Structure 1
Amino acid sequence: MASITLQNIVKEYDDGFPAVNDVSIDIEDGEFVILVGPSGCGKSTLLRMIVGLEDITSGDLLIGGDRVNDKPPRERNLAMVFQNYALYPHLSVFENIAFPMRLAKGKFTQEQVKEKVERAAGMLELTEHLQRKPANLSGGQRQRVAMGRAIVRDANAFLFDEPLSNLDAKLRGQMRAEISQLQRSLNTTSVYVTHDQTEAMTLGDRVAVLKKGVLQQIASPRELYEQPANLFVAGFIGSPSMNFLPGTVSEGSTGSTVLSTPLGDIELPEQVAAAGREKEIVLAGIRPEFFEEASQVEESRRGRGSVFSAELSHVEWLGNEQYGYVRYQNDPRVADALANLAADMDADELRTQLVVALDAMSRIRGGDTAELWVDTRRIHLFDPATGENLTRDAEAGAELTRLAAEDRRRDRERAAAHAD
């Protein structure tokens, strides 16, 4: 195992385009870091520079404290798991897993090869399939074979390049859990590339969000979710996505401070209002789960939020949850900001509709006017011109990441104890 340090890493192609632009990340020994972002954001290029398949234009890459910019891939002792598995169709599962050891001629005895392959196969539930060929395996089993080949290498780190993108949704969920448990039990430094933010949020100790080759924020999944640094991170992380409602902070008729929006006035607590008071217009970032039907909010909680009326265009019932949709007229002053955000996120457009979470048992339907309560303490205000989160509490965010690191450390200690 080893730490991986990226210091001001830049990758420029011949036309001068910076696919990766001044990225600095410190990955601790044993840490699981996810690189996430839309297509073309530079995440796979960054991974390929770490493994040595792409040259570094400028900056320093250190593995275990040693600068490796000029070292070929074979001297970096990194194990890569590719999207297409890269298995040899003519070799058995046993020989596919053993292949890295066969390449190191004379380093391993036949008994050592057998022992390491069988140990990896046992961890990955492949023992019964060792004599089969890849063509006779399911997609999930092939993925496990590719991971087994990485395990037997005793590599300094595992690098995963969108390893689950070829699997169906159900199998992806199963494999996510297996990769997470395996990484914790092995405690091997891991870097994982994905465009799927669900994978990023469920797998990583920390997640690095990239946009157009630039690192936007690196933090624990919870910090990204609760304290996003900017409009892009807020919109990219979370499903359904955060709502962005245009509004102006002003004094209400009752002396309270309100956010005047296309859906009416929403009263704001002073600490939120203060951040947007000097701005001509802001985008209020409100996650769907910040809403509830007003009739279901206990009296003791009602004062922590604001109530407004809205007509729902339609409702989606998903069994354990339900979402209502509220259309509104967008403010032309933020149209460009939202169009640019949609382009950055690889989306066709950001619709001018509010998505609100409803109780699964709610009987509200499309066409109904509902009284909705919103938890105003959790609203973020963004500057549409710069994308900056005006209400971000950096201290609270750092504490969330510190607590997450503490929790994962305990997880790894438990996993190590069970392995013994």
Structure 2
Amino acid sequence: MSVIELKNIVKRYGDGYPAINDVSLDIAEGEFVILVGPSGSGKSTLLRMIVGLEDITNGELRIDDELINDAAPRERNLAMVFQNYALYPHLSVAENIAFPLMLTKGQYSKAEIDERVNRAATLLELGDHLDRKPANLSGGQRQRVAMGRAIVRDANAFLFDEPLSNLDAKLRIQMRTEISRMQRNLAVTTVYVTHDQTEAMTLGDKVAVLKKGVLQQYASPQELYDEPVNLFVGGFIGSPPMNFLPVENVDGALHSPFGTFSLPEARSAKLREAPRYLVAGIRPEDFHDAAALDEAKRSSGALLTAEVDVTEWLGNEVYAYLPFEAAPEIRKALEELDRDLDGEGTRTQVVAALDPSTAVAEGDEVQLWFDPAKVMVFDPETGENLTRDPENAQRLADASEAARRRALERAREQQQRA
């Protein structure tokens, strides 16, 4: 296990364009860190700079406090798993897994190589496939072979470049579990690139959210979800994504296309010096069909009234889509955000994730209940989350770090028993 430090890392290509611009990350021993962002955000470039496949224009990259900016990839002792698996088709599974050890030219005896290959195969449930060729394996099995090749090296860290993007949805879920279990069992420092924010939220101890080569936020998944620093992070993290509703800030009340509501005093106080036109962020799951609530519950929150355009029944929940027209003062900011999030420029709308028992149907006028204490408010010009609670963010960060340390300690105890 190793500590990886990136300090003010910059990558410029020949035309001067900064693909990575002043990114700093501290990756602790045994930590699982996700690099996530839309296409072109620089996440794969940053990973390739860590492994040594891309030069660093400016900044410092250290592994265990050793400056390695100019070190060759083979000198960094990092194991990388590529998107396309990079397996040798003419070699068996066992030979593919053993290949990095064979390149050391006598450093390992045949018995040592066999022992390492068998250990990795057992961990990844490949023991029955060691004599097969990659062409005869499923996509998930080929992915595990690529992971096995990384495991046998006893590398300082594992680097994954979108390893699950070629798999179908069901297999991606299974492989997420495999990778998470492997990382915890081995307690190895891991950096993982994905464009899928669900992978980021389920796998990472920490997630680095990138936008156009600039680090937006580096935090635990729960902190990103509950306390995003800006509009971009709030919109990128979550599935379905956070709803952004244009509001007019007048005397402490927020006027939206669907009705007026107010925040609790602790939050509304932060808006007294805020601009008149703002963006309110409400998670889809924070909406509830008011018709299904008792009067006491209804009176404890806020209500919005809208006409349902489309509904989608998913079994465990119903998505209700409620279109709206954004005011000109805010439309530009929402359109720009949509482009940044790789959107297709679709109509502005609210998505409510409702209980499957709801009777809401297309064309109905519906009242949606929500808790104003969960509403986030953003400045459309700067993108800043004006209602972010730094104290709660720190509590979430401390809880995440404590959980990571406990998991790391359990892994070490298991290794000692083995």
| TM-score bin (small chain) | over 0.9
For 2:358 and 2:158, locate their aligned partners in 1 and report how far apart those are by CA, in whole Å.
Answer: 46
Q: Which residue of 2 aligns with 1:391?
A: 387
1:315 equivalent in alignment to 2:311:
yes
Q: Which residue of 2 aligns with 1:283?
A: 279
Question: Match of 1:150, SS?
Answer: helix
Structure 1 letter corresponding to 2:76: R
Q: How far did residue 309 of structure 1 move?
A: 2.2
1:352 equivalent in alignment to 2:312:
no
Q: How far did residue 189 of structure 1 move?
A: 0.2
For 1:390 and 1:311, locate their aligned partners in 2 and report how far apart those are by CA, in whole Å.
Answer: 29
CA distance change for structure 1 residues 418 and 360 in 2, over 3 Å: closer, same or farther? farther
Counterparts in 2 of 1:297-312, with a 5 A limit? 297-299=293-295, 301-312=297-308
Identity %: 61
Q: Which residue of 1 aligns with 2:215?
A: 215
Give the TM-score, by structure 2 length.
0.97
CA contact (8 A) 1:267 1:305 kept: no
For 1:25 and 1:273, locate their aligned partners in 2 and report how far apart those are by CA, in whole Å.
Answer: 33
Counterparts in 2 of 1:81-120, with a 5 A limit? 81-120=81-120
For 1:3 and 1:416, locate their aligned partners in 2 and report how far apart those are by CA, in whole Å.
Answer: 17
CA contact (8 A) 1:311 1:370 kept: yes
1:40 equivalent in alignment to 2:36:
no
Give the TM-score, by structure 1 length.
0.96
Q: How far did residue 298 of structure 1 move?
A: 4.8
Q: Which residue of 1 aligns with 2:16?
A: 16
Query: Residue by residue, what CA displacement relative to the aligned partner does 1:323-374 show, whole Å, maximum 9, x if unpaired?
Result: 1111212111111111111111111125311111211111110111122211
Q: Which residue of 2 aligns with 1:269?
A: 264
CA contact (8 A) 1:235 1:242 kept: yes
Structure 1 letter corresponding to 2:306: A
CA contact (8 A) 1:78 1:159 kept: yes
Q: Which residue of 2 aligns with 1:184?
A: 184
For 1:338 and 1:282, locate their aligned partners in 2 and report how far apart those are by CA, in whole Å.
Answer: 11
Question: Match of 1:217, SS?
Answer: strand
Query: Residue by residue, what CA displacement relative to the aligned partner does 1:234-255 show, whole Å, maximum 9, x if unpaired?
Result: 001101111111111224xxxx
Moved more, 204-213 or 292-301: 292-301
Question: Match of 2:352, SS?
Answer: strand
CA contact (8 A) 1:275 1:381 kept: no
For 2:190 and 2:243, locate their aligned partners in 1 and report how far apart those are by CA, in whole Å.
Answer: 33
CA contact (8 A) 2:31 2:404 kept: no
For 1:306 and 1:158, locate their aligned partners in 2 and report how far apart those are by CA, in whole Å.
Answer: 47
CA contact (8 A) 1:197 1:237 kept: yes
Question: Match of 2:336, SS?
Answer: helix
1:372 counterpart (368, 375, 378): 368
Q: Which residue of 2 aligns with 1:254?
A: none
For 1:307 and 1:176, locate their aligned partners in 2 and report how far apart those are by CA, in whole Å.
Answer: 38
Counterparts in 2 of 1:111-150, with a 5 A limit? 111-150=111-150
Gaps (5+ residues) in structure 1? 252-256
Query: Residue by residue, what CA displacement relative to the aligned partner does 1:41-77 show, whole Å, maximum 9, x if unpaired?
Result: 1100000000000000000000011000011000000
Q: Which residue of 2 aligns with 1:61?
A: 61
> Number of matched residues?
415
Question: Match of 1:59, SS?
Answer: strand
For 1:350 and 1:258, locate their aligned partners in 2 and report how far apart those are by CA, in whole Å.
Answer: 29
Question: Match of 2:170, SS?
Answer: helix
For 2:264 and 2:62, locate their aligned partners in 1 and report how far apart those are by CA, in whole Å.
Answer: 46
For 1:374 and 1:349, locate their aligned partners in 2 and report how far apart those are by CA, in whole Å.
Answer: 27
Structure 2 letter corresponding to 1:259: L
Moved more, 208-217 or 367-376: 367-376
Question: Match of 1:85, SS?
Answer: coil
Moved more, 56-65 or 311-320: 311-320
Gaps (5+ residues) in structure 2? none
Q: How far did residue 288 of structure 1 move?
A: 0.7
CA contact (8 A) 1:272 1:379 kept: no
Query: Residue by residue, what CA displacement relative to the aligned partner does 1:49-107 show, whole Å, maximum 9, x if unpaired?
Result: 00000000000000011000011000000000000001011111001000011000111
Q: How far did residue 275 of structure 1 move?
A: 2.6
Q: How far did residue 418 of structure 1 move?
A: 4.4
Q: How far did residue 301 of structure 1 move?
A: 4.2
Q: How far did residue 299 of structure 1 move?
A: 4.9
Q: Which residue of 2 aligns with 1:324?
A: 320
Q: How far did residue 410 of structure 1 move?
A: 2.2
CA distance change for structure 1 residues 300 and 186 in 2, over 3 Å: closer, same or farther? farther
Query: Residue by residue, what CA displacement relative to the aligned partner does 1:276-327 show, whole Å, maximum 9, x if unpaired?
Result: 3331200001111111112333555445421232221121110011111112
